[in-house]
Amino acid sequence: MDGSGISGTNQMTSKGILFSAALVAMAGGAQAETRIGMITTLSGGGAGLGIDVRDGFQLAIDQAGRDDITLIIEDDERAPDVAVQLADRMIQAEDVDIMTGIIWSNLAMAVVPSVTAQGVFYLSPNAGPSQLAGRGCHENYFNVAWQNDNLHEAAGAYANSAGYTNSFILAPNYPAGQDALAGYKRFFEGELAGELYTQLGQTDYAAEIAQIRASGADSVFFFLPGGMGISFLRQYGDSGLDIPVVGPAFSFDQAILQAVGADALGVVNTSQWSPDLDNAANTAFVAAFQDAYGRIPSLYASQGFDTANLILSALDVATPSEDPDAFRDALRAADFVSTRGDFEFGPNQHPIQDIYVREVVQDGEIFTNRVIGVALEDRGDAYADQCPM
């Protein structure tokens, strides 16, 4: 993946930057300081995803105007070893109480088990690998986005309703890609014309498109977030193939749409969030984000915003340093107003939520998504019954 499509004003990628919601509260009855460590991707491939999570999270903190939170942000460079080193330093030297921010499932698998084993809370604003939803669940791990399979399950359900019976499916070969194809196949009732795992970060899809052309498929499902999706959609458009494409929102976020342009028009994708969701919290969020950053928020930005607001709601009840059990219970209660509307946690502390069907449209010079239906209502995930909590 690459950072193409990201405007220069949003490329804040320097490491070790310390953001504070405000100075630590002075002594004398003030609430205890809570230190939050954010490790996310701010440079190189996939930087746009991490930037959006960071900006959405920071917006919520800024709106709250609290003086008891310190937010420490680091760039993981999309490298598991870097993420592990940063997490260890944040826990041992920075004394963080909560961690968040990771985009990629392979990084989450490298970091989250160690973080939670050390008594630190981890709230995921994006990555939701099946391993951490099932047997690897933990009382200190919460996912505020989705379990990896969810949006792909919804794509499979939509494909059935659209009458597709022979899908060609492809995704990168890493945990989220494996969950993606598993999710699609869980709900899709037709046959598979082909199934491929591509390389993570791949940019040339000529061979894959040739296989799709020869497969006899009546539909294509793909999960290729960031720069991978840009490359695939451009090459698919240039190929002249007219086989309908279905995908999850990750392959149709705002940066990808602006980079791909008209080749994405009319493509159907699935998401738990959309900028046009009709609720007061979402309308206010979209307007505030555009005012603060000069661009339409992506689902990653909405997930960062919701994650911060969940933390804030729990901090109104207790702090993790003084009463971790009460703080955990407050997180489970999810007593905050989500941009996506109704939100609750399942028994494995992953969301139960609606997954929408969206279509890529053009609004003036901007390419964006509009909701056209609901694919799955109140969907939890397929791994909750494996969680020993």
> Are the beta carbons of 76 and 88 closer than 8 angstroms?
no
Residue 40 has phi, psi (to 5 degrees) of: -150, 175
Other CB atoms closer than 10 Å to residue 207's CB: what's the count? 10
Average pLDDT value for the chain: 91
* pLDDT tens sequence across 10-58: 434 444 444 444 433 333 345 689 999 999 999 987 899 999 999 999 9
Q: Express each pLDDT in 184-217 by its tens digit.
A: 999 999 999 999 999 999 999 999 999 999 999 9
Decide if 177 contacts 226 (C-beta within 8 A).
no
In this predicted structure, the answer to whether residue 1 has a pLDDT above a threshold of 50 is no
Is 115 a residue whose pLDDT tops 70? Answer: yes
Residue ranges and CATH numbers for the domains of the chain are: 34-146+278-345 (3.40.50.2300), 149-271+356-379 (3.40.50.2300)
Contact (Cβ atoms closer than 8 angstroms) between residue 60 and residue 308 = yes
Query: Radius of gyration (Cα) for the chain, nearest Å?
Result: 20
What's the pLDDT at 253?
Answer: 85
- The C-alpha angle 265, 266, 269, rounded to 5 degrees, equals 105
pLDDT digits over 334-385, tens only? 999 999 999 999 999 999 999 999 999 999 999 999 999 999 999 999 999 9
Residue with tokens 């993420």: 83
Sign of CA dihedral 224, 230, 231, 234: positive
H helices present in the chain, as ranges: 47-64, 80-92, 105-117, 130-133, 150-161, 175-187, 206-215, 227-239, 254-260, 280-293, 299-315, 324-333
Measured between alpha carbons, how far is residue 196 from residues 1, 191, 207 in Å?
18, 14, 11
pTM, two decimals, is 0.89
Give the whole-angstrom CA distance, residue 221 versus residue 112. Answer: 29
Instruction: Give the pLDDT confidence score for residue 167 in this predicted structure.
Output: 98
Q: Two tokens at 234?
A: 């451009």
Q: How many residues does the chain have?
A: 389
Across 275-292, average pLDDT: 97
